[in-house]
Structure formats: structure tokens, C-alpha cells
Amino acid sequence: MTEKPAESRLWGGRFTGATDPLMDLYNASLPYDQKMYAADLEGTRVYTQGLHKLGLLTSEELSEIHRGLKQIHKEWADGKFVEKPGDEDIHTANERRLGEIIGRNIAGKVHTGRSRNDQVATDMRIYVREELKKLAVLLKSLIEVMVARAEKEIDVLMPGYTHLQKAQPIRWAHWISMYATYFTEDYKRLQQLIERVNVSPLGSGALAGHPYGIDREFLAAGLGFSGVIGNSLVAVSDRDFVVETMFWSSLFMNHISRFSEDLIIYSSGEFGFVKLADAYSTGSSLMPQKKNPDSLELLRGKSGRVFGSLAGFMMSIKSIPSTYNKDMQEDKEPLFDSLTTVEHSILIATGVVSTLSIDAAKMKAALSMDMLATDLADYLVRKGVPFRETHHISGECVRKAEEEQLSGIDKLTLAQFQQIDPRFEENVFETFDFEASVERRTATGGTAKSAVLKQLAQLKQTLNK
């Protein structure tokens, strides 16, 4: 890297000697923070309006600065921005280029009263806010696809599992509604997170505040912020919004991972409930019969990547002293990676859900009569028998069927039922109906058709608020 004279750096006046070239490389963040070029330019545009309002820039100077900022934005957008040695970060690069376009005398005024400490905090909040808004749109689309699929396939029954053991019959739509509910809670948390991110640090200077009394509320409004951070020390050093963003990303990816694990299991030969589209599967380099759910495995695997980013950054900031420290530069790479991973994951999950096919016959065939043991207990409850007693009686029926090597408890004779408990009557055999079982669960949140449709309607209502 060609050495940049110390006096030409934003911070170079104090220094006369050259820095170690490796230190320049170690210190540089432009390779990854250039993502924020638009946020940085917009922050400068509004900040210079604030300086003009104070009388620190003339109207002509402001016009020239804004002309230069537009040109720089176009260069970045067109992929024609030329980086030069000494461009440590996006702020340095943009200000250097502005000086080349409009002259250093005018460009040198844009940083009046501003520090890179409040500048980078502002850029990051703008960038994160816009990225989170984008994620909200994509996440809403994923949930809508899931809800539409659940409504279409509402009549399909499947086993519900606890401990990965068959438990009770449920509707396939009920399973979809479960993850749609998780994702809707993520969507609601995302809206709350956007609100907390959307406060302005600009005008706080390096740490102590603005020396010229700039109107911070004016700056905040111009940048679309809902308000300002009330303490300048906090404004330049707060990275809680980064932690919260990565925590939200981790929690969302946890839900994506569980969703993926279920579908991986359901797509296996042992289950065969679902089949992924070719677009979201791959084959084996050795075994031609294989169709691997790689999309889902990657969704599951990338959750660890996002969790790791959060944990790593928490370790980076846990012991730094007050206000700005260079450790905080370690916020961008894990943050940007997490946001990109989440965005791609939502898009892949949406593609998987919208294109997979289900085998309703295999789902139905996987239902077994022992899954109605609780319904058998409920049969006696309706006759006034305490549930704890009926639970024991139903268990005896299951044991009796196993002893007799019957295919299910429904194969017991009435005499065998009555031998276990005389309160069983002929209508006990009406219990052994999977559709009737799910339809008995009409309470809010249940698996009856009416209950599932109500869940889906509530999810749509939440999304449309």
C-alpha cells in the first residue's frame, strides 16, 4: 500500500511520522464499510444543511457540496468510484473525492463540528434501518406464502410429534401455522427494533457535543429519524442497536433452523411427507439415486454463522471503556454478514415453501390408532370419570392391545374394553376417527379446522396492521 502523508489524513495533524503499512491495512475498513456509501453521503448532505443554517456555509458552498455528493453517489452506484491509497473508510474516501470534485477549500468545511465518531454511528443507523425495512418486506412475504399454503391444504392430516415420537393427529396447516406464528412474532419484534434503531447520534461531535450549537432535531428530521439520542457520550459509543440487530437475526435464524430440521426429516425416505423442488435440492457425486435437501441444510447450518457473529461481537465490546474506542470498528463485518445471511435465508425459505410438494396419502398412512389413546381417555371423561383415572384406564387398553399383538387399540373387542372398565359402551369405537379427533380440538390455538383458520386469519390481521 502506498503511504499517505500523515498531514493529509483526517486525523493527521498531530502526527509527523509514517505508520506501518500493515497498520494501514489493519486499520482500514473501506473494503466492507463501502456498503454504507449512500448513508454516508446522505448524512453529509443533511449535516451541511445544518451548517448552512448556522451560517457556517454559504448558499453557494452548500450548492457545490451537494453537487459533488450527487456525483459521488452516481460513481458508487455505477461501480466507477476509484478507491485510492489512504482511503481508510467510506467517510475518508467520500470526503477525499468531494475535494477532488469541488476543491479542498469548500470540501474541507463539511466536517466542521463533526467527528467520524458521530458520523459512523449515523451512517450505521441509517444503513441498518433501511436494511431492516427491507427484511420486514421479505419476511412478510414469507409468512403470506405460508398462510396461503396452509389455507389451501387445510384438510390434510398428519402426525403431530413430541420428542420426535408420534403423539396426536394434527392438520398439516396447523404445523405450517406454528412456524408462521414464530415468524410473525419475529416480524413484530423487527418493527420494534426498527423504532429503536431510528434515533440520531448526529451532531454529538467526538463525544462532548457540538461546539457551534447545531440543531440536532433538524438533522434528525432531515435524515428520517424519529428523534435524537439525548446524551452525546452515548450517541457516539452506543452499539446496542448492533447487538439487538444481531440478536434478532439469531433468534430468527433459530426459528428458520427448527423449521428446516422438520422439513429435512419430513422429506426423508422414512417419512416421505414432503418433496423439495429440484431448484432447492442437489444430487450426490457418487450415488445417483440421492436427492439431498441442501437448501434446508444450509439454512440450518447458517444459523450457527449468525449466532457466532453475535457472540463474537459481544466479546469485542464487553470491556471497552466509555465513549468511542476503535474496537467498535469490529461491529460492521459481523453485522453486515448477519443481515446478508438473514436476507438470503428468507428468500430461500420462501422459495422452498412455495415450491415443495406434499404427499397427503403418506401423511395419513403415518397416523396410527395409538395416537388416539388420549381421545379414549377423553371418552370416559365425558362420562364423568376423573381424567387421572381415565389416563390409567386408557394406558391399560394400550397395554392389552400390545399383549394381544393387535395392530391398534381399535382392534380390541367391546368385551375386552369392558373387561378393563365396564363403563365402555358400543359407541367407544366412534373414538377411533382421526378427523373426529382433530375436530374436537376447537379451542383457540387448536388443530380443528375452525381453530386453524382462525389462527391464519389472526396472522394476516397482524401483518396488515
What's the first-to-final CA gap in the chain, in angstroms? 53
Do β-strands 165-171 and 157-162 pair in parallel, antiparallel, or remain unpaired? Answer: antiparallel
Distance CA 107, CA 105 (A): 6
Active site residue 52: no
Phi, psi dihedral angles at 10 (to 5 degrees): -60, -30
Distance CA 310, CA 246 (A): 6
Contacts of 219 (CB under 8 A, 6+ apart): 46, 47, 50, 200, 202, 203, 228
Contacts of 69 (CB under 8 A, 6+ apart): 41, 44, 45, 94, 98
Collapsed DSSP state (helix, strand, coil) of residue 417: helix
Active site residue 354: no
3-state DSSP helix/strand/coil % of the chain, to nearest 5? 65, 5, 30
C-alpha cell at 312: 463474537
- Which entry of 8, 63, 268, 284 is annotated as an active-site residue? 284
- Which entry of 59, 163, 319, 357 is annotated as an active-site residue? 163
Q: Which residues pair with 159 in a beta bridge?
A: 169
Catalytic residues: 163, 284
